[in-house]
Amino acid sequence: MCPDKSNYAALAGFFSSWPDVLTIRRFRELQIRNLLFYQAELAHLEAELHELEDEDARQNPNPLHRVNFRWTPHMNGVNVTTATASNHGQGAGTSIPPVQPTPQTTASLLYRDKVLQIRRTLADYNDAVEQYKRLCSLPGAERLDMVFIHEWLNDNRYGNYFLAGDVEDVWTVGLGHGNFEAADASDFFTFEDQSKPALRLMSIVIFLHRFVSRFRSSSSGKIHHMDVSAHGVLDQAITTVAASIIPILPILIFYFVHETLIRIGLIIVFTAVFSVILVVGLRVKPHAALAITTAIAAIQVVYVGSTANESRQQN
């Protein structure tokens, strides 16, 4: 952190230097409340639209004469305010009779305004739904990162308590009696999903690395950053190699196991492990994993059957 930076400038510099630590609050409750407000508003608008249609139906028994029969041109072109204002703009010697809106025109305008109001609200509602959907798809924050930010903010060498006790400190929650701790990570998201390997084979290594690094940081007085992207690559490589070896591993074992029932049991075990690695580790779609495992299992069953027949013939 540059010595001439403080407050939010220092916090922004901290996050820009280590972007994988950046965690932003989702405000999930407010997001949901916003959607509920839109939903309530649209429910009222829908009820008002039905009231206009019911009143129009009582006034016009013939459906062809109702305002919602179709989106007719006069609903877009006629305006009661314009028509009324034109009466006041006529000169004293003019012979043009005043324009009076008919009940049908008034009903059409009311219906049109209500439909346009619903259209605008629906557009805002759909945007809010799409934004919330995208927000929920962002990866969640890690607890250790939340603790790291909390400690950075409350260290006089870095954040210098500039948000201490302030409502803007969303990374900290009060426990009472002047005690504070890092906020729950469930309501926060991050932009770099580096800490979630496929099968989490390196999770223990990552945890131990961060645990040891925290003691190093406290003793040296410097912020220690751990880039876990390399762990994710290594984890993916281990998963891919395992997925490549498992289909041919039973063939090797079958040379030493001659009991047919044991071979069939091994096929079941290896097929189950292989499917788990495909779906969980390599994130293959379930239907694709089913096709792959079925084909490999069929080959292994044919191999076991052919070798069993050969052994019978030899006996």
| pLDDT tens digits, 67-76 | 665 665 455 4
- For residue 270, the 8-state DSSP code is H
**Locate tokens 């049991």: which residue?**
265
Tokens for 258?
Answer: 């001659």
Where do we find the tokens 């829908």?
46
The highest-confidence range among 177-181, 279-283, 287-291, by mean pLDDT, is 287-291
pLDDT at 30 over 70: yes
C-alpha closest to that of 159 among 15, 315, 311, 314: 15
**At 298, which amino acid appears?**
A
CA–CA distance, 143 with 286 (Å, rounded to integer): 31
Main-chain phi, psi angles of 158, to 5 degrees: -130, -85
Main-chain phi, psi angles of 7, to 5 degrees: 55, -135
pTM of the model: 0.61
Question: What integer pLDDT is reported at residue 41 of this predicted model?
Answer: 97
Residue 253's pLDDT is 87
DSSP-based helix, strand, coil % in the chain, nearest 5: 65, 5, 30
- Among 79-83, 101-105, 200-204, the range scoring the smallest mean pLDDT is 79-83
CA distance 41 to 38: 5
